[in-house]
């Protein structure tokens, strides 16, 4: 498909414009060489330093299994240079600390960027970009980290308009939660997590009042010794309407966790609890509550 579009670019100016728009709609970048080629194109006379890309996916691949710090840093800096040249971005993803904004040119405002996914990222290196994402609606963090106190002293908090958050294997301190999500504390309605621990409790202290959907994903390589954090988390979600739990996450029977929430939440509005292998309705109106049925050994 890409080769066909490239041939179209050579036919006529009109076809070149149409094919170019498709080619720059979504760009996967895995090697430093590809980043340099893209930058060379962006700085050509045709683009004059502005990249028309609408979605960028950075996932570094190196010739050696364990690249050195210089290789990682160079890839991250090239990535940062590209991102600040893409004011029309709608979606951005990056793996393994693949972005670093080290140049004097600050990222522009991104009025169209509504989705961001990061993996293995130091959020402090990403902060210059985050504070420019005033219309961000979806934010996914995987194996990422950040110093909340350091961010608070160095950067103004972001002004996201988040409605959905997804976190997995990411440590969230109280300071980091406040810096990242205070501006969206009344707009976040859907939360997806992989761990039910102190990080989730810190997060819910900031955003819990307006969350309506909670999805607890399958937890791998984790021994659950207590369900206290799960019960505390549920108690901090007064507007919760839907709870989905994948896998055997808890020692406590789901009914007990549900009933604890229903008794202690300020506004008992939970309407659905789902878990594999199946679920069925219990109770009666006005709340229309749902609870899963869990078989032996599940």
> What 3-state DSSP class applies to 29?
strand
Give the dihedral sign, CA 152/153/155/159: positive
CB 239 within 8 A of CB 209: yes
Q: For 26-47, write each residue's pLDDT tens digit.
A: 888 888 898 998 898 888 877 8
Q: What does the chain come to in residues?
A: 298
CB 132 within 8 A of CB 110: yes
Please give the average per-residue pLDDT across 61-84, as a whole number.
82
Give the dihedral sign, CA 28/29/34/35: positive
CB 82 within 8 A of CB 40: no
223 or 24: which carries more pLDDT confidence?
A: 24
CB 237 within 8 A of CB 208: yes
Q: For 235-292, write each residue's pLDDT tens digit.
A: 888 888 888 887 656 666 555 565 655 565 555 566 666 655 444 443 333 333 333 3
Q: Encoding tokens for residue 51?
A: 């990249």
Which residue spans within 70-205 are E strands per DSSP?
A: 91-95, 115-119, 138-142, 164-168, 190-193
Q: For 200-226, write each residue's pLDDT tens digit.
A: 999 999 999 999 999 988 765 555 566
Separation of first and last alpha carbons in the chain = 46
pLDDT of residue 94 exceeding 90: no
User: What does the alpha-carbon distance between residue 241 and residue 217 come to, in Å, rounded to a whole number?
Assistant: 17
- Whole-prediction pTM value? 0.77
What domains, with CATH codes, occur in the chain? Answer: 2-292 (3.80.10)
């Amino acid at each position: 498909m890409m080769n066909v579009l490239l041939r179209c670019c050579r036919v006529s100016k009109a076809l070149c414009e149409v094919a170019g728009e498709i080619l720059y709609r979504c760009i996967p970048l895995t090697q430093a060489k590809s980043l340099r080629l893209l930058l060379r194109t962006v700085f050509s006379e045709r683009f004059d330093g502005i990249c028309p890309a609408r979605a960028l996916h950075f996932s570094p691949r190196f010739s050696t299994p364990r690249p050195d710090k210089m290789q990682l840093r160079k890839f991250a800096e090239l990535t940062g240079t590209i991102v600040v040249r893409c004011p029309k971005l709608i979606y951005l993803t990056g793996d393994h600390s693949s972005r670093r904004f080290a140049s004097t040119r600050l990222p522009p405002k991104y009025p169209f960027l509504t989705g961001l996914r990061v993996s293995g990222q130091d959020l402090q290196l990403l902060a210059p970009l985050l504070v420019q994402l005033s219309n961000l609606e979806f934010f996914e963090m995987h194996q990422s980290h950040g110093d909340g106190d350091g961010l608070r002293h160095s950067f103004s908090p972001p002004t996201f308009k988040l409605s959905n958050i997804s976190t997995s294997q990411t440590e969230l301190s109280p300071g980091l939660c406040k810096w990242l999500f205070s501006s969206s504390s009344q707009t976040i309605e859907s939360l997806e997590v992989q761990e039910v621990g102190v990080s989730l409790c810190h997060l819910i202290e900031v955003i819990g009042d307006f969350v309506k959907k909670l999805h607890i994903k399958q937890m791998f390589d984790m021994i659950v010794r207590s369900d206290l954090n799960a019960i505390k988390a549920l108690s901090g979600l007064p507007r919760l309407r839907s709870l989905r739990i994948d896998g055997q996450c808890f020692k406590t029977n789901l009914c007990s966790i549900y009933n604890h929430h229903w008794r202690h939440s300020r506004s008992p509005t939970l309407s659905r609890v789902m878990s594999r292998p199946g679920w069925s309705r219990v109770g009666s109106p006005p709340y229309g509550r749902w609870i899963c049925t869990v078989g032996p050994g599940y």
